[in-house]
Amino acid sequence: MFRWLRHRYDRMRLKDPRWLPLFREDPSGEVVSVDCETTGFDTRTDDIISISAIRIAGNRILTSQAFNAYVRPDAEMRADAIRVHQLRAVDVAGARPMREVLPDFLDFLGGRPLVGYWIDYDAAMLDRYVSAYYGFHLPNRRIEVSGLYYERKYGDAPQGTQIDLSFAAITRDLGLRTLALHDAFNDALSAGEMYVQLTDMKARNVRIAREHGHDASAAITVG
Amino acid sequence: MPRSFDTASPPFDRLSEAEAAELVAALDIGYWPAGQTILMRGAASDHYHVVLKGAVEERDEDENVVAILGPKETFGARAVVHGGAGARYVACEETLTYLMPRDTLLSLIHRNPGFAAFFYSDISRKLAEVAKHDRGQGLEGVLRARISEARLRPPVFIDASTTIEETEQRMSDTDTNSLLVRDGARVGIVTRTNLSKAAILAKLPLTTPIGECTSWNLITVEDDEFVFDALITMTRNNKRRLVVKRGGEKVGILEDIDILGMFAGNSQLIPGRIDRAKTVDDLAGAAADIQSQVVRLNHQGVKVRDIAAITSDLNRHLFRKLFALIAPESIQEAGCLIVMGSEGRGEQTVRTDQDNGLLLADAVPEADLSRFRVEFQGALATFGFPPCPGNVMVSNPLWSQTIDDFVMQLKRWVHSPDADSPMHLGIFFDAVCVAGNADLLTRAKREFIAMMSGETAAIAHFAKAIDQFPGPGGVINSILATVGREEPIDIKKSGTFPIVHGVRSLAIEKGISATSTVERILAIAETRFFDETFARELSDALGYFMELRLKSQLRAHLAGTTEGESLLRPSDLTTLDRDLLRDALRVVKRFREIVRNHFKLGMF
């Protein structure tokens, strides 16, 4: 509700017509899987150092037209985050600043919904720049793959069921491969793969079995 | 641009780094729910698929599952390149595939012939491409080189009237160990060894004309033959030098040392060892050499068909010598020693069994015969030849009798067959004579072909053994379907036997006298029964099965067991090998259908 109001308000106040497409949901049904790597995990103080976005059209993950950019950060990178994404300060030193990267990203995104694992975090990171630079909040609808997963697996679960929405659990249940490197592209790709599979399961009303949910083939037999 | 795409697996390993990067940049990923058809049979496709995750069934026109494709396996090449998929492809579980755009693929195919070859539909070109790819990794490169590529010694001619002394001088002058000797129209060869023997051992005066110690029996090869052929010729004739000809002209001399300089092998030394043997025990050493060089040749990367040819030649040499050593005079005179089955076809590498027999022009004293049976078999046993499970051996009186009785036996097998008759006839039809009177075998075969000629029912009964191991309807398909799953495939039953026996049946019908399956296939193609393309595919499929079989035999051999030597686990194969195996099994399926229709086996 709050987001809807803010959406209307932002759109009314929007000065630059360049960003208008963001406010109209794309009728094609395409979505964009997004992942950002950051200097740390605080959305208020840390900076984005890379963005990857992959369009998904129907059953197809358009990796050939992916958006990939490194960003030169303002904040200093923290060691714990470097261990996760393996991007060092020197790796992003030659990159473009966010002021140049963000417009390209928003053009790529258009009015398509954002898809991701823990998408609110990535959206919040992006939102901070968007509102600082252009004075509005990222209006795109957000699709949380762990939410789709929850619905397929725990939607009808009795009270007290132990719930595991970890990236590893989803990867395992869907029988997806574990990509060796956690960079923005691979994480966006994994989220994209989760999205196509989970939306297909939803369309066919297939559920993920809870008791022997360690095997994707067990899920198939239910539907 | 999924960086996780594996460009190191075939056929993408043939792409240059830049080409691979271009391909990876163009990749999308497709998601297919279980049960969805990814590609319809006959449909064109904008994408070539590489399975990323999941499994895809390949279904033929009768909806039989022909194969199950797993990660890294590819499909849709025909649909992209030729505009129509060869089969229907269905996701059998939730599946992700890399989508390789048509334009990118075609552009790479046009630029990179090694990559392109993978997409040609017939197996021969694929295999040739693989062979080319492997060239230089072993001995194969050397053996597959033409003789003209070897460093030949230039031919130096002298007249037969030249003296021994002058000849020696000429050899020193031209720095060679052999000279060609001209005597009118005939040409011979003289070597330093000949000179030493003449002057030192025979104490001929140095003024003797060289014509007197010249060997006039020139063994020649053409310069466009393979080095491998030269090696075979040397082995067969027990010669260390060959005269190389181009057209009618003698252009050089090839010595074994020249070939040895190119690689280390010693098959040409074994016949000498066999010839020098004075006792059966001496021969045992040579027999062990023959077997150990199979391992070595394979290790060096020699093609299995060539290994089989070398091995057969040496084995026959061994049999001939053994016959000379132990056969009593009566049998030497009246007998014809034959080898049959795979040994006769020249297709045996690792000794799995023995099929041999003795035809006699006339009855010989019973004592001689029984002694020979026992001694011959005993010797082969010490040489490490396993006994024949079907008892097709000299020691069995059925397989060592007079030609008249044996022809009667053939008649019984043809006209009143029992369960074993087709096997006996098949094994016999592959016979070659290794020692003694070859005319006996020629006569027996001629009579056999005459018996079968026009006897449609008899040939059909014989051919029917092609279905001895379950037929094309069910089991072949499930064998094909096991490719990609963990079910061992019996290479002998599913691959080698149907080809060998089908070809054998056709060869009997057409009265073809060649014994090797490849030669028979060529002879059948000459009758226009099937075209040359199919003939090539069939021989290549056979060669491929033999190669797979040899690999698993050697593995079993190392493990010290013959159990399961012809079984193959698909998961042990590379993706490319699996692809080739599928193609080869498909050729077998087609051939089986041809044979079944031709002999109308459906009626039996």
Burial class from Cβ neighbours inside 10 Å (0-12, 13-18, 19+) for residue B214 reads buried
C-beta atoms of A193 and B94 within 8 A: no
Task: Report all structural domains of chain A as residue ranges with CATH numbers, in order of start.
Answer: 2-143 (3.30.420.10), 145-222 (no CATH)
Give chain B positions within 8 Å (CB) of A189: 2, 29
Return residues 66-105 of A near B (CB < 8 Å): 66, 68
Candidate from A3-17, A58-72, B149-163, B578-592 with smallest mean pLDDT: A3-17
Look up residue B56 and give its two tokens.
């895809």
Highest-confidence segment of A94-103, B247-256, B502-511: B502-511
Secondary structure in 3-state letters for B98-130: EEEEHHHHHHHHHHCHHHHHCCCCCHHHHHHHH
Helix, strand, coil percent content, chain B, rounded in steps of 5? 55, 15, 30
Q: Is the pLDDT of residue B234 over 60?
A: yes
Rounded to whole angstroms, the Cα distance separating B255 from B266 reads 13
Secondary structure element (H or E) that encloses residue B544, with its range: helix B532-558
The segment with the largest mean pLDDT, out of A103-117, B42-56, B103-117, B416-430, is A103-117
Confidence at residue A11, expressed as pLDDT on a 0 to 100 scale: 74
The pLDDT value recorded for residue B20 is 86
**Looking at B505-588, which runs of residues are DSSP E strands?**
567-568
Q: Return the pLDDT at A85.
A: 64
Q: For residues B488 and B571, which has the higher predicted lDDT (pLDDT)? A: B488
Interface of B with A (CB under 8 A): 1-4, 25-34, 52-54, 93-94, 96, 99, 101
- B12-121: CATH class: mainly beta
Q: Which fold has domain B267-447?
A: Beta Polymerase; domain 2 (3.30.460)
Q: Answer yes or no: do A59 and B30 touch at CB < 8 A.
A: yes
Provide the pLDDT for residue B135.
40
Q: Residue range B570-595: average pLDDT?
A: 81
Candidates A59, A152, A195, partner chain B, best to mutate (most B CBs within 10 A)? A59
Range in B57-61, B291-295, B318-322, B355-359 with the lowest mean pLDDT: B291-295
Q: Which of B353, B356, B278 is nearest to B319 (CA)?
A: B356
Q: What is the mean pLDDT of residues B500-513?
A: 93
Say whether B96 and A180 touch across the interface (CB within 8 A): no
Please report the sign of the dihedral spanned by the C-alpha atoms of residue A201, residue A204, residue A207, residue A212. negative
Q: Mean pLDDT, to the nearest integer, of A115-141? A: 91
Which A-chain residues 42-71 have CB contacts (< 8 A) with chain B?
Answer: 59-64, 66, 68
Model pLDDT, residue A159: 79
Q: Is A204 on the interface with B (CB under 8 A)?
A: yes
Q: Which long-range contacts (CB under 8 A, 24 or more apart) does B133-141 make?
A: B133/B14, B134/B301, B137/B301, B138/B299, B138/B300, B138/B301, B138/B302, B139/B263, B139/B265, B139/B297, B139/B300, B139/B301, B139/B302, B140/B300, B140/B301, B140/B302, B140/B303
Which chain B residue shows the shortest CA-CA distance from A55?
Answer: B28
With cut-offs at 50, 70 and 90, classify the pLDDT of residue B483.
very low
Q: Which CATH number fits domain B464-603: 1.20.120, 1.10.357, 1.10.1740, 1.10.3470?
A: 1.20.120
Record: contact A60-B99, CB cut-off 8 A: yes
Sign of CA dihedral B219, B222, B228, B229: negative
The answer to whether the Cβ–Cβ distance between B4 and A179 falls below 8 Å is yes
pLDDT tens-digit profile of A23-36? Answer: 888 888 899 999 99
Q: Do B53 and A175 touch (CB under 8 A)?
A: yes
Average pLDDT on B227-243 reads 80
pLDDT above 70 (res A39): yes
Q: Which fold has domain B147-262?
A: CBS-domain (3.10.580)
Q: Identify which of B37, B53, B55 has the alpha carbon closest to the alpha carbon of residue B45.
A: B37
Phi, then psi, of B125 in degrees rounded to 5:
-65, -35
The neighbouring-strand residues paired with B172 are none
Lowest mean pLDDT among B117-126, B208-217, B322-331, B409-418: B117-126
| B25: its two tokens | 């940049």
Yes or no, beta carbons of A220 and B94 under 8 Å apart? yes
CB contact under 8 A, B29 and A61: yes
**Is there a contact between A61 and B25 if contact means CB atoms under 8 Å apart?**
no
- CA of B24 to nearest chain A CA: how many angstroms apart? 8
Secondary structure letter of residue B469 according to DSSP:
S
What are the residue boundaries of the structural domains of chain B, listed by start? 12-121, 147-262, 267-447, 464-603
3-state secondary structure B121-179: CCHHHHHHHHHHHHCCCCCHHHHCCEHHHCCCECCCEEECCCEHHHHHHHHHHHCCCEE
Instruction: Note the ipTM here.
Output: 0.71
> What pLDDT, in 10s, does the model give residues B529-552?
998 899 999 999 998 898 888 877
Q: Over range A134-160, report the average pLDDT.
A: 89
Flag whether pLDDT at B357 surpasses 90: yes
How many Å is the Cα radius of gyration of chain B?
28
**pLDDT score for B262:** 55
Report the pLDDT value the prediction gives residue A218, as an integer from 0 to 100.
39
What is the overall mean pLDDT for chain B?
83
Are B1 and A63 inside 8 Å of each other by CB? yes
Chain A residues with CB under 8 Å of B93 CB are 216-217, 220
Q: Give B388's DSSP letter.
A: P
Q: Give the strand pairing for B157-159 and B356-360.
A: unpaired
> Is a pLDDT exceeding 90 seen at residue B576?
no
pLDDT at B506 over 90: yes
- The 3-class SS string of chain A reads CHHHHHHHHHHHHCCCHHHHHHHCCCCCCCEEEEEEEECCCCCCCCCEEEEEEEEEECCEECHHHCEEEEECCCCCCCHHHHHHHCCCHHHHCCCECHHHHHHHHHHHHCCCCEEECCHHHHHHHHHHHHHHHHCCCCCCCEEEHHHHHHHHHHCCCCCCCCCCCCHHHHHHHCCCCCCCCCCHHHHHHHHHHHHHHHHHHHHCCCCCCCCCCCCHHHHHHHC
Q: Is B125's pLDDT higher than 80? A: no
Sign, CA dihedral B251-B254-B259-B261, equals negative
Q: Would the pTM count as exceeding 0.80?
A: no
pLDDT over 70, % of chain B: 85
A218 touches chain B (CB under 8 A): no
Is the pLDDT confidence value at A79 over 80?
no
**Chain A contact set for B25 (CB, 8 A):** 64
Question: A39 near A179, Cβ under 8 Å?
Answer: no
Segment A92-108 shows an average pLDDT of 88
